[in-house]
C-alpha cells in the first residue's frame, strides 16, 4: 500500500532534475502485439539542425596530459574522461548530468549518456553521448546540446507572479518539492543556484516550498491544464478535477503522479522541463508520461500556451517484409508483411530493444544483423537497413538482379529469422540459464552480452554458411554467403532452412556440453549429430497442416540452384532416400555433414 499526498485542487509546481528519456524497455508485455490496432497519433517534435554525430579523423584522448598518466592509480575513469571532454572540447559553459554509463564487454567501449541542464531543469532534447575505448580514447560522440547564443533569459518565479484566479488555487492546495536527483550533476555554478526562486507558498496547508519556472512571455499553465490539453489532442473528454488524486513519486525522479485519469492505465507522471525548438530557442514545457491500452505517450506541452509541441509513442509496431515462418525460400512462397512477430515471453520488450536503448535498425537484444560484403572481421559499424521511427522494414526485391542490390531484404530476413528461432527455442527451454544468445538477461540468470552476430552476404566465402559457438557470455557468430551456382547468383539469407540450421549449431552446442563448454560436438558421430539436429529443426519448421508422410524435404535447394546440398532429400520413402544408420560405416560418410 502506498502513501499518498492528496492535492485537493490542481496547480502544482515541480523542481525536476531528472525527467525520463524515451526508452522502449518501459513498454510491458501488453503492448508487444498490436498489429490489429490502428493508432492515429504519430510521433513529432522539433528538428534540430545543429545536432551532430562525430567520429574523429584520428583517435584521440581528451587532453594530451592523459597520455602521460601511466600509473594505474592515476588513470581517469571513463566518466571522468567524458566530463573532461565535454567541458574542455565541446561545451565549457554548459550544465549537464550523467544519465547513464555502461561498458560493452565484447569490445571494451564505455558509453556515457549525458543530459543538458538549463536553469535547473533538463532540456529534453539536449543530449550528448560519448564513446570511450578501453585505452581511454574518445572514439566518437553525438551532440544535440542547445548552443549558448540560443539560451534565453528564462527566470524562476514563485506563484505570486500568477494571475489572481490562479492564486486562489494555490492558497487552497497542497504542494511539495521533489527531492534532488542522485545522478551525477555537473555545473559551472555552485549547486546552491538550484535554490534560487524557491518560495514558501502562502496559504498552503503544509507550507512546503516550491520552485516554479515561467518564461518571460507570461502566464504558465498548471499541470492539470496541460493534462487536459493532451486529452483534447487525443480526442478524449475533458478530465474532471475532483476525480483526481496526486502524490509524489518514490524514486529520485521527483514526478507528480496523477491517479484516476480516465484514459490512463497507470498514474500519469508529470514533470517540468525545457525543450529546444526548431530555431534553437528554449521553451518551458510540462512533460507528461501517459500509459494507455494501445499506446504509451511521452508528451511535451508548451507551459505558456498549452500547445502540444512534441509527442513520442513508446509503443512501436515493427513490420518486416520477409519470407515468414512456413515459407522456406522463394521457391516455396512469396514474402509477406509481418507485424510484431516477437513472442511476449521470449522477447518481452520487442526485437529492437537493448536494455535502456531502442534501435530503429536491425539491432536488438537477440541479434546484430548487418551486411559484410567485404568479408571483414569487424562488424560493429557495418551497414544495416533502417526501419525509421515506425520500424517498417519493407524493401524491394528483384531476384533477377545481383544479390548486392537487395542487401536490405537480405539483412531484414536474416534479422527476422534469427529472432524467430531465438523466440521459438526459448519456449522449449533454450533460455538465459541454458546459455541462449542475448545482450541482456534481465536478471534471469546465465551470462549475458552475447547476442548473435549475423552477417548477411558475407564476403569471406561462397556456397556455404557457418556458425561459431563460443561458451556462454561470448557472441555466437553466423556468416551467410552468396551462392554462385545459378545465374544470377542467389543469397542464402533468403532461405530460412539454412539460417535455422546454422542457428541450431549454437543451440545444440550449448545444450549438449552445457553453456560453459563448447567442445562436445566437434567431430565424429557427435559432430554428425550436430549437423543432423540442424537439418531436423530446419525441416520441422517447414511443416504445414496439409503435408503428409509422403512429403519430401531438401536442404539448400533454392540457394544451390534447385539441387540441394545433401546427397538425398529427407523422405520416408526408401526409394527416394535409402540411407539407414548402417550407412555411417561407409567410407564416404566419414564427414560430419554426411553423418548428420
Residue 505 annotated as lining a ligand binding site: yes
Instruction: Name the β-bridge partners of 98.
Output: 114, 184
Helices (H), 491-543: 496-512, 524-540
525 is in an annotated binding site: no
Q: Which of 47, 336, 502, 588 is catalytic?
A: 502
Phi-psi region of 464 (alpha: psi -120 to 50; beta: other; left: phi over 0): beta
Residue 298 assigned to a binding site: no
Nearest to 547 by CA among 330, 332, 324: 332
Tell me the C-alpha to C-alpha distance, in Å, between residue 479 and each of 341, 369, 485, 556.
Answer: 24, 10, 18, 15
Nearest to 222 by CA among 184, 259, 258: 258
- Active-site residue, 502 included: yes
CA angle 387, 140, 103 (to 5 degrees): 85
What helix, strand, coil percent values describe the chain, rounded to 5? 25, 25, 55
**Of 576, 588, 536, 525, whose CA–CA distance to 552 is shortest?**
576
Three-state helix/strand/coil letters over 364-419: CCCEEEEECCCCCCCCCCCCCCECCCCCEECCCCCCCCCHHHHHHHHHHHHHHHHH
Task: Give the closest residue to 572 by CA, choosing from 594, 596, 539.
Answer: 539
> Cell numbers of 307, please?
500547445
Residue 317 assigned as binding residue: yes
Q: Cite the annotated binding site for Zn(2+) by residue number.
A: 317, 501, 505, 531
Q: Cite the annotated binding site by residue number.
A: 317, 501, 505, 531
Residues with a known catalytic role: 502
Amino acid at each position: 500500500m502506498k502513501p499518498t499526498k492528496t492535492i485537493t485542487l490542481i496547480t502544482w509546481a515541480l523542481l525536476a532534475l531528472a525527467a525520463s528519456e524515451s526508452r522502449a524497455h518501459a513498454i510491458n508485455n501488453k503492448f508487444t502485439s498490436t498489429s490489429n490496432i490502428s493508432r492515429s497519433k504519430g510521433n513529432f517534435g522539433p528538428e534540430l539542425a545543429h545536432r551532430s554525430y562525430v567520429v574523429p579523423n584520428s583517435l584521440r584522448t581528451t587532453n594530451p596530459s592523459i597520455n602521460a598518466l601511466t600509473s594505474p592509480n592515476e588513470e581517469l575513469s571513463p566518466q571522468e574522461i567524458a566530463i573532461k571532454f565535454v567541458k574542455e572540447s565541446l561545451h565549457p559553459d554548459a550544465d549537464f548530468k550523467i544519465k547513464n554509463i555502461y561498458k560493452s564487454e565484447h569490445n571494451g567501449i564505455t558509453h556515457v549518456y549525458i543530459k543538458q541542464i538549463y536553469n535547473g531543469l533538463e532540456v529534453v532534447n539536449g543530449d550528448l553521448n560519448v564513446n570511450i575505448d578501453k585505452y581511454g580514447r574518445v572514439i566518437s560522440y553525438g551532440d544535440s546540446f542547445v548552443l549558448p547564443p540560443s539560451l534565453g533569459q528564462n527566470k524562476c518565479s514563485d506563484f505570486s507572479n500568477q494571475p489572481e484566479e490562479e492564486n486562489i488555487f494555490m492558497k487552497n492546495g497542497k504542494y511539495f518539492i521533489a527531492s534532488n536527483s542522485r545522478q551525477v550533476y555537473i555545473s559551472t555554478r555552485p549547486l546552491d543556484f538550484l535554490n534560487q526562486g524557491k518560495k514558501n507558498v502562502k496559504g498552503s496547508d503544509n507550507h512546503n516550498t516550491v520552485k516554479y519556472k515561467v518564461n518571460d512571455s507570461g502566464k504558465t499553465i498548471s499541470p492539470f491544464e496541460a493534462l487536459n490539453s493532451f486529452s483534447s489532442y487525443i480526442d478524449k473528454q475533458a478530465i474532471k478535477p475532483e476525480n483526481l488524486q496526486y502524490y509524489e513519486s518514490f524514486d529520485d525522479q521527483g514526478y507528480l503522479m496523477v491517479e484516476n485519469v480516465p484514459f490512463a492505465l497507470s498514474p500519469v507522471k508529470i514533470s517540468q522541463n525545457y525543450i529546444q525548438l526548431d530555431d534553437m530557442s528554449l521553451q518551458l514545457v510540462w512533460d507528461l508520461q501517459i500509459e494507455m491500452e494501445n499506446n504509451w505517450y511521452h508528451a511535451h506541452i508548451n507551459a505558456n500556451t498549452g500547445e502540444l509541441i512534441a509527442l513520442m509513442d513508446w509503443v512501436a509496431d515493427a513490420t518486416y517484409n520477409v519470407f515468414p515462418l512456413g515459407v522456406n525460400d522463394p521457391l516455396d512462397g512469396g514474402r509477406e508483411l509481418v507485424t510484431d512477430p516477437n513472442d511476449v515471453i521470449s522477447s518481452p520488450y520487442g526485437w529492437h530493444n537493448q536494455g535502456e536503448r531502442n534501435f530503429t535498425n536491425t539491432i536488438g537484444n537477440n541479434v546484430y544483423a548487418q551486411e559484410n560484403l567485404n568479408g571483414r572481421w569487424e562488424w560493429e559499424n557495418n551497414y544495416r537497413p533502417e526501419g525509421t521511427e515506425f520500424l517498417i522494414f519493407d524493401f524491394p526485391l528483384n531476384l533477377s538482379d545481383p544479390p548486392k542490390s537487395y542487401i536490405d531484404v537480405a539483412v531484414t530476413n536474416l534479422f527476422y529469422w534469427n529472432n524467430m528461432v531465438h523466440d521459438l527455442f526459448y519456449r522449449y527451454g533454450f533460455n538465459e540459464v541454458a546459455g541462449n544468445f542475448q545482450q541482456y538477461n534481465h536478471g534471469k540468470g546465465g551470462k549475458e552480452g552475447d547476442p548473435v552476430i549475423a552477417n548477411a552476404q558475407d564476403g569471406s566465402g561462397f556456397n556455404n554458411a557457418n556458425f561459431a559457438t563460443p561458451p556462454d557470455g561470448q557472441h555466437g557468430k553466423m556468416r551467410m554467403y552468396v551462392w554462385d551456382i545459378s545465374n544470377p547468383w542467389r543469397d542464402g539469407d533468403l532461405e530460412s532452412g539454412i539460417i535455422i540450421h546454422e542457428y541450431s549449431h549454437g543451440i545444440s552446442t550449448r545444450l549438449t556440453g552445457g553453456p560453459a563448454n563448447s567442445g562436445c560436438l566437434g567431430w565424429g558421430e557427435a559432430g554428425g549429430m550436430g549437423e543432423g539436429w540442424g537439418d531436423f529443426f530446419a525441416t520441422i519448421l517447414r511443416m504445414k497442416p496439409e503435408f503428409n508422410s509422403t512429403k519430401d524435404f531438401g536442404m539448400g535447394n533454392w540457394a544451390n540452384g534447385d539441387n540441394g546440398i545433401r546427397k538425398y532429400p529427407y523422405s520416408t520413402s526408401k526409394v527416394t532416400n535409402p540411407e539407414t544408420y548402417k550407412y555411417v560405416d561407409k567410407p564416404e560418410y566419414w564427414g560430419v555433414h554426411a553423418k548428420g
